[in-house]
Amino acid sequence: MEEDTIVALSSGALPAGIAVLRISGPGAAPAMAALAGGVPEPRRASLRTFRDASGGTIDCGLALFFPAPHSVTGEDLAEWHLHGGRAVVAAALGALTALPGLRLAEAGEFTRRAFDNGRIDLTEAEGLADLLAAETEGQRRQAVAQAGGALRALYEGWMRRLVRLRALLEAEFDFSDEGDVGDDVAAGVIEGVAALAGEMAVHLQSARRGEILREGFRVVIAGPPNAGKSSLLNALARRDAAIVSAVPGTTRDVIEVSLDLGGVPVRLADTAGLRATSDTVEAIGIERARRAMAEADLVIALLDGSDTSPATEATHGETATSPVLCVLGKADLLLPAAALPAHDLAVSSATGEGIERLVAILAARAAETVGDPAAVLPARLRHREIVADALGLLTDPALSRLPPELVAEALRRAGDRLGALTGRVGVEDLLDVIFSEFCIGK
């Protein structure tokens, strides 16, 4: 399949003002010559009439050609810029795939070929996938940094340091009789390993920030039945995402909406009301609510500002292990101040009172947790697991007591493990999964 020439629409949904067809592989130049009247000068747009095999006109547009290896895929690559009508694109694709050895591309195949041909490494490919999926400014900035090689530079820098430390050790036991080899190289190597391990540990500590940027800052609204949780979710989402009813126990499951607050993705969840119940289905919903509270980055403990009954422990969020923001709902119906429980702010989903302030607080909490979106963060579980594995090899307490030969072997294994981050070693079984995240034509 790698010898095939592939083609796909690379410019998005139709109809559109312009459609870009991309052709990559050894048949790109012959296809251009056969259907566009010749191959244009490399990297220069040329106005062409595109024709099918029978000579019928498909469309007039621009043709570009990028010879290997100086293309995004590392192969000969051609682009047709046509009018973005569905019939135009269908006719062009039909004419191209009728040529011998030319077929439609699979999802992510252009990027996979760029990786296979050394144009990008695996972290850059993952960054490109994240960039295509980015929905907030923070996600875009993180993805741009990764796609630009920020993670690759960091991880390859660690690998070079490990190679140098190995070289010092091997010089000690291979050339110990030479005058320019120190007497106590091993001690210096252990110090170098400790310094590198410290940097790796700090990098891992930032993993949650990267996960939040990719997956979202998780906020759970919790409280007793009829406190106004679903109404608050709808007010924050600015749409009717959850059913609102005066009947206690209406919400039985966790209902999520996604928000973009200050460029940080926020996943806001409405949960079942917390109370003692004999209803089996409601009890399952309450258990899911408690689980969501435990996994949240922030819990909004919502109290009913019009309720005269004493607040329960769960209502106040005191059973939550996550940070808690205590909010009084139904601010338009508040009891006298002396009767109100302690709270951080009051809101009314009916009138909008306090909603903007609550949004500002959520945005500030999310931004504070994430920090700089452009920082070099281990954005994926794969990154975190591999760095943790390598760190485990470098922080083994027995390392300082091992003979130099075994220390060098441990460093080699750690370096090979880091090589899986950029795709140098041991990732063949992951490639199909990673590149399947891309759309057709990318």
Tell whether residue 250 is among the known ligand binding residues: yes
Distance CA 102, CA 35 (A): 13
Tell whether residue 248 is among the known ligand binding residues: yes
Tell whether residue 57 is among the known ligand binding residues: no
What pairs with residue 299 in β-bridges? Answer: 220, 324
Tell whether residue 312 is among the known ligand binding residues: no
Helix (H, G, I), strand (E, B) or coil at 404: helix
The string of DSSP letters for 4-54 reads SEEEEE-S-SSSEEEEEEEEESTTHHHHHHHHHSSPPPTT--EEEEEE-TT
Tell whether residue 229 is among the known ligand binding residues: yes
Tell whether residue 245 is among the known ligand binding residues: yes
Residue 354 and residue 370 in contact, taking contact as beta carbons nearer than 8 Å: no
In this structure, the strands spanning 217-222 and 16-24 are unpaired
Tell whether residue 336 is among the known ligand binding residues: no
Q: Radius of gyration (Cα) for the chain, nearest Å?
A: 29
23 token code pair: 């052709």
DSSP H helical segments within 371-396, as ranges?
Answer: 381-394
Tell whether residue 42 is among the known ligand binding residues: no
Tell whether residue 117 is among the known ligand binding residues: no
Distance CA 225, CA 275 (A): 7
Distance CA 244, CA 295 (A): 25
Tell whether residue 119 is among the known ligand binding residues: yes
Q: Around Cβ 153, how many Cβ atoms within 10 Å? A: 11
Residue 23 and residue 79 in contact, taking contact as beta carbons nearer than 8 Å: yes
Tell whether residue 10 is among the known ligand binding residues: no
Tell whether residue 271 is among the known ligand binding residues: yes
Question: Which residue type sits at 246?
Answer: A
Tell whether residue 78 is among the known ligand binding residues: no
Tell whether residue 321 is among the known ligand binding residues: no
Residues in the chain: 442
Consecutive H or E run containing 299 = strand 298-304
Q: Peptide bond before 15: cis, by omega within 30 degrees of 0?
A: yes
Tell whether residue 330 is among the known ligand binding residues: no
Helix (H, G, I), strand (E, B) or coil at 366: helix
CA torsion angle for 328, 330, 333, 336 (degrees, to 10)? 0
Residue 40 main-chain phi, psi, to 5 deg: -70, 165
Tell whether residue 442 is among the known ligand binding residues: yes
Residue 23 and residue 78 in contact, taking contact as beta carbons nearer than 8 Å: yes
Distance CA 183, CA 208 (A): 43
Binding-site entries for GTP: 226-231, 245-251, 270-273
Binding-site entries for (6S)-5-formyl-5,6,7,8-tetrahydrofolate: 22, 79, 119, 442
Binding-site entries for Mg(2+): 230, 251
Binding-site entries: 22, 79, 119, 226-231, 245-251, 270-273, 442
Binding-site entries for K(+): 226, 245, 247, 250
